[in-house]
Structure 1
Amino acid sequence: MNDERYPAQVLREYALLADGERGAVVGPRGELCWMCAPLWDSDAIFASLIGGAGVYAVTPRERFVWSGAYEPGSLIWRSRWVTTPGIIECREALAFPGERGRAVLLRRIIARHGDARVQVVCDPRPGFGACRPRFRGAWEADGQGLWFRWTGAEKARPGHGLELELTVPAGEHHDLVLEIADRPPRGGPPDAGRAWHATEQAWGRAMPRLHTIADRDAHHAYAVMRGLTGAGGGMVAAATTSLPERSEADRNYDYRYVWIRDQCYAGLASAAAGAYPLLDDAVRFVGARLLEDGPHLKPAYTGTGGPVPEQRRLDLPGYPGGYDLAGSRVTHQFQLDSFGDALLLFAAADRHDRLDADGRRALRTAVAAVEERRRDPDAGIWELDDRAWTHSRLNCAAGLLAVGENAPSPPATRAASAR
């Protein structure tokens, strides 16, 4: 059952934490209301965003006015609450870069002005709320193949999960660290100070210097895309599922997967901005899928390159105006335009001398796939009925022209050009 202390908020008031392998959504009451673990497309352990059980909240005990902001060039978020007696901040992040089977949630409560009096609730519910782990000892638990360890909350007591009333003296801070893994904890818990320092340093190394007409926006956009990109190069479209584009408009999809089209667009934007690591990731992931599936390339894959699971209902209320869907029917579709997007991506990488031998093999595979399937009906860019969509064919023509412009000219052509 959803904890009614944390009702759904307007979507623009939520912030994303991400480490490349998974993401979490935090709201204005300090509630982590969505997170899947151990990977993007795993079952949620916090599902209150779509009406399920599971939440991890740090909330002022007095009346407050909320605001929040990202630290520049990162997905480190600071919630800020102005209360009657003072000002409280909570610095939050997923330890970055993420480890594929293990997430570390860092939360630092800061008494910015006056004492910080907060209520903390830690109530993970694996399986979209189906399981309630039993915490024991020094607050370790397991459930549905996941293990949890919560440190910094030794005085917590059972309630809705574990609950803690905490007072941080003025000018000081208090760290909470929640580990979530697909295996039992090894060794002692992480040192919070070192984990924060490592995360700050890693974000600093991950961010390129961009020079655009809107540098701040460009750097934040890059940070979001980097946070959505895993070690295998795949960039998921979003951390969430079933959030409505418009209320009751029947366009509620599971976006916790890598769409080939979107990955190519991100790579093209990165190439244009000179942000080559994300370009390299896109080429690596898209190239690997082409080499594996050739003319049978799927429109979308999991973050690890696997098939997208079948669509199913979760028997949850859903976000207001939305639904409760997981998985997607897209895996059964053919979208011809994806080959054109891949060719445009490879051409951009080649122009910047960033196409390796595997990339060139994938390029040739995409060209051969267009030759083989160019007359086949496809679902098009909007996943509609199978037809001969003009956009799909024009997109492939654009991709072929782009790679052709990069190809070396035959000797006879070069001699004629010289004359």
Structure 2
Amino acid sequence: MRSARRRCETARVVTPIEDYALLSNCRTAALVSREGSIDWLCLPRLDSASTFAALLGDETHGRWVLRPDDPDARATRRYDRDTFVLITRWQSGDAVAEVHDFMPIDPDPGVQIRRTDVVRRIVGIAGEMAFTQRLSIRFDYSRAMPWVRQTGTEAEPQLVAMAGPDALAVRGARLTAVDHEHRGEVRVSAGEVRDLQLVWFPSHRPAPEPLDVDQVLEVTKTWWQSWADRIEHAGPHHEKVVRSLLILRALTNHETGGIAAAATMSLPEQIGGERNWDYRYVWLRDAALTLEALLDHGFLGLADSWREWLLRAVAGDPADLQIMYGLAGERDLTESVLSALPGYAASAPVRVGNGAWGQYQADVVGEVLVTLSAARAAGLKDSEFSWPLERSLLRFAADQIEHPDQGLWEIRGPARMFTHSRVMMWAAFDRGVRAVEQHGLPGPVDTWRELRDRMRDEIDRRGVRDGHFTQHYDTDEVDASLLLLPEVGYCAADDPRMLATVARIEQTLMHDGLLHRYRTQSGVDGLAGEESPFLACSFWLVEQYASTGRRDEAAALMDRLCALTNDVGMLAEEYDPVHRRQLGNIPQAFSHLALVRAADALSDGECTPR
């Protein structure tokens, strides 16, 4: 009974997912709520164990709150131009102050980094304002209560916490232990600046020196703004496109080149449900699609970095290819349940790792080869090992050609012949043929051409019923992934089969004007419960509309989708139109790259095949 009561209390006070903003140093990320609480932070890397995990529980699971004493203080927030320096402006009566939250970024990723910092700068604007600081440190997904000691002086207070391999130093204001957390007060007057610093470091090393905040703030802002200024985009929803591309960059590891699918883990697709997954890893598919979005807007250099990451990650026997890896190419992502965390809004289980790493998903090779083909067309030169890598991936695809798979959506039910997966196998062989015919690269082009034609014949015979494409060969159900078929050039957007597919998708998968991935009631995914509309799917529909003359519908749907971003431009995985809230992991690369491509389609007037 006590456990049930606690779950209900947690659900009542939970912070909405869309109330969070992102801080990033392109190595890890923090989520900051509107109320000034950092409720999620994994150190030192995005896929490391958490230090603050109130997001998946409550204040006892780790957080860092900085907000005015006045409970009625009002806040507005924004990023400082095109950066991840978050400025929260607080007003309490006649007093006004700002908190500038950021994670310093090292502009040279080649330097070995032994520290990770979070800075919270308080700037007095008018009058005097008192801020409360509440710090609860819980290492290792809230399983390790640290040993904490005061090591500073009265003039320069410093708190050091450590447990196992992890240590933190917190500086800038005195903190006192109260009920398993540390509390303190900071006052600022107009024109005054106070800096609070948190630094992670390996516990076997001494605490790093304090930062020169003025210097690292300027370096960090300059780095982000310079990157944003290189974005090539002119068209509708420009600000949303720029912020989405910045988010995709923030999810790209500065040192390894690995591109994470999201910054969080186990945020639910259904409140109280079991569809809670860890998305802090590199899905080859998601990374390839992210890279394409970056390529389309002028970032050819990132393609080279990611290709090098790919070479390292998949080195060895092609038969050992995985669909996902750690940020540095780690292979073992075994999924387990964390009993120490009750879950967001009591949505359990909380999972770390992801069991999908062991799945066979037939579309992945196609996604990778389509992206590498686009990079080659954009001017990326082949390295000594890049074309041999692509040839080995094609051999792998040929060896697996008869095998059913788990599909784009990582179905945990039986493997099937998913139509989208089979089309992506067609695309893999098609890009192999193009590499030989258009770029003169060596390879068994006759074999690849035969396999490509074989796949088309099979798909046209078995993946179409009643004039529309199907989710898999043994059903007449449809799936939103079918909207991607024109993108890879399998058919035209106005192919009669595509038009019939869109009509069926609108009929069976659209609710409140937004698309679900597929009908969960069909039982194909092997999971209990429901889910909300998947945002990327609706962006794909924008592209389809734009490509078939339904411009007004495309623009209207795009406007609605862009309005679902939160106040700092972030999207999660799904949106619940009934309760008007975002659901799933945030920020979600899939959602943001789909936004970028939909905006491009509206600008071009058509979906450009990849």
TM-score of the superposed pair, with normalisation by structure 2: 0.63
* Paired AA for residue 105 in structure 1: V
The alpha-carbon deviation at position 192 of structure 1 amounts to: 1.5
What is the SS of the residue equivalent to 2:142?
A: coil
Whichever residue aligns with residue 212 of structure 1, its letter is A
- Counterpart CA distance in 2 for 1:172 and 1:277 is 42
Is residue 157 of structure 1 aligned with residue 157 of structure 2?
A: no
Counterpart residue number, 1:344:
370
Query: What is the one-letter code of the residue matched to 1:399?
Result: A
Q: Within 1, Cα distance between the matches of 2:44 and 2:289?
A: 27
Deviation per CA, 1:337-378, whole angstroms, max 9, x where unpaired? 100001001101100121431322221121111112121221
- Per the alignment, residue 126 of structure 2 pairs with 113
**1:20 correspondence with 2:39:** no
In structure 1, what is the equivalent of residue 356 of structure 2? 330
**What SS class does the counterpart of residue 256 from structure 1 fall into?**
coil
Q: CA deviation at 1:100?
A: 5.1
Give the counterpart of 1:215 among 234, 238, 241. Answer: 238
Could you tell me which residue of structure 2 aligns to residue 198 of structure 1?
219
Aligned partners of 2:81, 2:239: CA distance in 1, in Å?
A: 8
C-alpha distance in 1 between matches for 2:125 and 2:302 = 37
Determine if the alignment matches structure 1 residue 259 to structure 2 residue 283: yes
What CA distance in whole angstroms lies between the structure 2 residues aligned with 1:186 and 1:89? Answer: 28
Tell me how far 1:187 sits from its aligned partner. Answer: 5.1
Distance 2:317 2:252 in 1: 21
Partner Cα distance (1:132, 1:382) in 2? 37
Q: Distance in 1 between matches of 2:132 and 2:62?
A: 16
Correspondent of 2:421 among 392, 395, 407? 392
Q: Which amino acid aligns with 1:151?
A: R
Cα distance in 2 for residues equivalent to 1:152 and 1:142 = 19
In 2, distance between residues paired with 1:295 and 1:187?
44
Matches within 5 A, 1:290-305: 290-292=314-316, 294-305=318-329
Q: Indicate whether 1:175 and 2:189 are aligned.
A: no
Report how far residue 141 of structure 1 moved: 2.6
The equivalent residue for 1:74 is 83
Structure 2 residue identity aligned to 1:165:
E
The structural deviation recorded for 1:16 is 1.1
User: Deviation at 1:403?
Assistant: 4.1
Query: Aligned to 1:383, what secondary structure does the other structure show?
Result: coil
Aligned to 2:274, what secondary structure does the other structure show? coil
- What does the per-residue CA deviation read over 1:86-105, in whole Å, with 9 as the maximum and x for residues that have no partner? 22211111111486542100
CA shift digits 1:124-181 (9 cap, x unpaired): 210122223213212223212112111212x322224322111011122211110012
1:401 CA drift (Å): 1.7
Which whole-Å CA distance do the structure 1 matches of 2:88 and 2:314 have between them?
Answer: 42
**Please, which runs of 5 or more residues in structure 1 have no aligned partner?**
412-419
2:41 counterpart of 1:30: no
Aligned 8 A contact 1:344 1:403 in 2 = no
* CA–CA separation in structure 2 for the residues paired with 1:82 and 1:293: 60
Q: 1:293 offset after TM fit, Å?
A: 5.0
Q: Which amino acid in 2 is paired with 1:297?
A: L
Say if 1:111 and 1:170, in contact at 8 Å, map to a contact too: yes
Q: CA deviation at 1:7?
A: 4.3
Contact 2:126/2:189 (CA < 8 Å) preserved in 1? Answer: no
Matched residue type, 2:103 = L
Which residue matches 1:414? Answer: none
In the alignment, which residue of structure 2 is the partner of 1:320?
Answer: 345
Q: Could you tell me whether the CA contact under 8 Å between 1:212 and 1:218 is conserved in 2?
A: no
Amino acid at match of 1:69: R
Seen in structure 2, the aligned counterparts of structure 1 residues 242 and 401 have a Cα distance that, compared at 3 Å, is: same
Give the aligned partner of residue 59 of structure 1. Answer: 67
Question: Following TM superposition, by how much is the alpha carbon of 1:9 offset from its aligned partner in structure 2, in angstroms?
Answer: 1.0
Q: Aligned pair 1:377/2:404, yes or no? A: yes
Identity of aligned residues (%): 25
Q: State the secondary structure of the residue aligned to 2:199.
A: strand
Larger Rg: 2
In the alignment, the residues of structure 1 paired with residue 300 and residue 145 of structure 2 have an alpha-carbon distance, to the nearest angstrom, of: 43
Contact 2:201/2:208 (CA < 8 Å) preserved in 1? no
- 1:236 paired with 2:245, answer no
Aligned to 1:417: none
In structure 2, relative to structure 1, the CA distance for the partners of 1:186 and 1:50 (3 Å cut) is: closer
Aligned to 1:83, which of 84, 87, 92?
92
The answer (yes or no) to whether the contact 2:127–2:190 under 8 Å persists in 1 is: yes
Alpha carbons of structure 1 residues 212 and 291: separation in structure 2 relative to 1, 3 Å: farther
- Offset from partner CA, 1:33-56 (integer Å, 9 cap, x none): 011112222211101111151111
Displacement after TM superposition at 1:262 (Å): 0.3
The residue type equivalent to 1:197 in the other structure is E
Q: Alignment partner of 1:128: what SS?
A: helix
* 1:408 Cα offset (Å): 4.3
Q: 2:14 aligns with which of 5, 8, 12?
A: 8
What is the CA-CA distance between 1:407 and the residue it aligns to?
3.0
Q: Measure, in 2, the Cα distance between the counterparts of 1:79 and 1:147.
A: 28
Partners of 2:364 and 2:81 in 1: CA distance: 34
The one-letter amino acid paired with 2:367 is: D
Note closer, same or farther for the CA distance 1:342–1:295 as it changes in structure 2 (3 Å cut).
farther
After superposition, what is the alpha-carbon deviation per residue over 1:80-119, rounded to whole angstroms, capped at 9, x for unaligned? 2222232221111111148654210011111222212100
1:137 to 2:151 alignment: yes
Q: Structure 1: how far apart are the matches of 2:93 and 2:377?
A: 58
Between 50-59 and 268-277, the greater mean CA deviation after superposition: 268-277
Instruction: For residue 295 of structure 1, report the CA deviation from its aligned partner.
Output: 3.2
Matched position secondary structure for 1:141: strand
Contact 1:242 1:253 in 2 (8 A): yes
1:321, distance to aligned residue in structure 2 (A): 5.5
The separation in 2 between residues aligned to 1:78 and 1:20, in whole angstroms, is 19
Work out the CA distance in 1 between the residues paired with 2:211 and 2:273. 45
SS of match in other structure, 2:143: coil
TM-score, normalised via structure 1 length? 0.91
2:386 equivalent among 359, 365, 369: 359
- Counterpart for residue 101 of structure 2: 92
Q: Distance in 1 between matches of 2:113 and 2:208?
A: 18
